Amino acid sequence: MNLKRVVVTGLGSLTPIGKTTSQFWESLVNGVSGADLITRFDTSLHRTKFACEIKNYNPDEFFDKKESRRYDLYAQYGIIAADEAIVDSGLDLETTDKDRVGVIWASGVGGIQTFENECLSFAKTGEPRFNPFFTTKMIADICAGHISIKYGFSGPNYATVSACASSANAVVDAFNLIRLGKADVFVAGGSEAPITNCGVGGFNAMHALSTRNDDPQTASRPFDKDRDGFVMSEGAGALILEDYEHAVARGAKIYAEVVGAGLSADAYHMTASHPEGKGAYWAMKSAVEESGMRLEDVVHINAHGTSTPVGDISEPKAIERLFGSHAYNITVNSTKSMTGHLLGAAGAVEAIATVLAVKNDIIPPTINHFTDDPDIVPLDFSFNKPTHRKVSFALSNTFGFGGHNVCIAFKKYE
């Protein structure tokens, strides 16, 4: 069977460092941090009092009152990012065969704010008088449904859930289904709105979050000796993946080509990554092998790089093990140093950053580096300044609690 080629033709993002993809990219290149003190709820009893919130978000700019009441914040973010990506793709919705357009949308947590609000209300009153939209606002698949309903896309439609790897899995599924001829176009990505009492409290209980409350903007410190946990974030990322021939036939602009994907499991621990990066190694190896490229062709890796004590050690080990001496020629970065960790939306947002690095030949920095860690393989982490070089072939790594590992390979379209 001849597999179809797949390209990226549209991008959409809503992040703490930019409400559009152009703003997001400008902030990445300029090393802007999205972290600040939490404004959404009282943090006085929490160990962590900061996060990467969407700044000055007003749903009235995007939805009418009726829609806002029906959508959890995570779904609002997803719809906004998907809208931008669809417009950016230039798809003619009047002539496009919508039976051949699908939506795969991810969220690791789903509507946690809705769940929290409704349960607290029940606990306070003791009366099971739930909002009629409680279930449909809360469930993690509903954003995929909303996007398909809004545009009439009746191709494959579902959600992927694999913790922080969720939206990377959505992109990989879309890639594979297009290659198999199951659809011509996919809206793929993910959204998350976890900055709530339960979200912050739960991750604090696991000792996963940074507690650098005196200096939030430098708290996300991937690969730095003094890193003390990740910075929670929110937002959404959407990619339009398209059959290459379909894209060329309609004269679409093409950002990059998706050429491979690798999936693996650490099979090791509930939350900790394998100490030697076993799953990361196999995911990257599979992605490069499927692409038909050589290991020596990899120029850039957007690392998972969460700023956690264990994870930031294991991923560079996996890179060195796979690439050998070439590992030191690869520019590795962690955009989480700026965006924070968007949990289930991280994979899509970082895939967008990787696609734009390939398109523009600029690799954003890993900011907030102050002290080298002797336990970390000393790769080129693009510390504190962007790297300008031709990015012909790049990987985007995303890993999730439960040992889920995803690597996506992007190639320059020429």
Same domain, 102 and 245: yes
In a domain, 256, yes or no: no
State how far the Cα of 175 lies from the Cα of 192, in Å rounded to an integer.
22
Q: What is the DSSP letter of 226?
A: T
- What is the model's pLDDT at position 132? 85
Same domain, 141 and 106: yes
- What is the model's pLDDT at position 128? 86
- What is the model's pLDDT at position 77? 98
- What is the model's pLDDT at position 122? 86
In a domain, 285, yes or no: yes
- 182 token code pair: 């199951």
- What is the model's pLDDT at position 271? 77
In a domain, 254, yes or no: no
Question: Which residues neighbour 120 within 8 Å (Cβ) at sequence distance 6 or greater?
Answer: none
Same domain, 177 and 293: no
In a domain, 1, yes or no: no
| Long-range contacts of 32-35, Cβ-Cβ distance < 8 Å, separation of 24 or more | 32/338, 33/217, 33/218, 33/220, 33/337, 33/338, 33/367, 33/368, 34/233, 34/338, 34/339, 34/340, 35/216, 35/217, 35/219, 35/220, 35/231, 35/340
- What is the model's pLDDT at position 273? 83
The three-state secondary structure class of 243 is strand
Residue 21's CB is within 10 A of a number of other CB atoms, namely: 25
Residue positions annotated with a catalytic role? 164, 304, 341
Same domain, 233 and 292: no
- What is the model's pLDDT at position 163? 95
Q: Which of 203, 220, 249 is the last residue of a domain?
A: 249
Same domain, 169 and 301: no
pTM score > 0.85 for this model? yes
- CATH number for the domain spanning 144: value is 3.40.47.10
- What is the model's pLDDT at position 183? 98
Q: Which of 218, 249, 280 is the last residue of a domain?
A: 249
- What is the model's pLDDT at position 186? 98
Same domain, 339 and 399: yes
What domain range is 332 assigned to?
A: 261-411
Q: Which of 215, 249, 283 is the last residue of a domain?
A: 249
Same domain, 268 and 232: no
In a domain, 2, yes or no: no
Residue 27 CA from chain centroid, whole number: 16
For 92-133, the pLDDT digits (tens) are: 999 999 999 999 999 999 999 999 998 988 898 888 888 888
Same domain, 215 and 265: no
In a domain, 15, yes or no: yes
Same domain, 404 and 281: yes
In a domain, 153, yes or no: yes
- What is the model's pLDDT at position 275? 82
In a domain, 181, yes or no: yes
Sign of CA dihedral 307, 309, 314, 320: positive
Pairing of strands 393-400, 404-411: antiparallel
- What is the model's pLDDT at position 21? 98
Spell out, as residue ranges, where the chain has pLDDT lower than 70: none
Same domain, 12 and 155: yes
Residue 347's CB is within 10 A of a number of other CB atoms, namely: 36
Q: What total number of domains does the chain contain?
A: 2
Same domain, 107 and 236: yes
Question: Which residues neighbour 331 within 8 Å (Cβ) at sequence distance 6 or greater?
Answer: 299, 300, 301, 363, 380, 382, 387, 389
Same domain, 63 and 200: yes
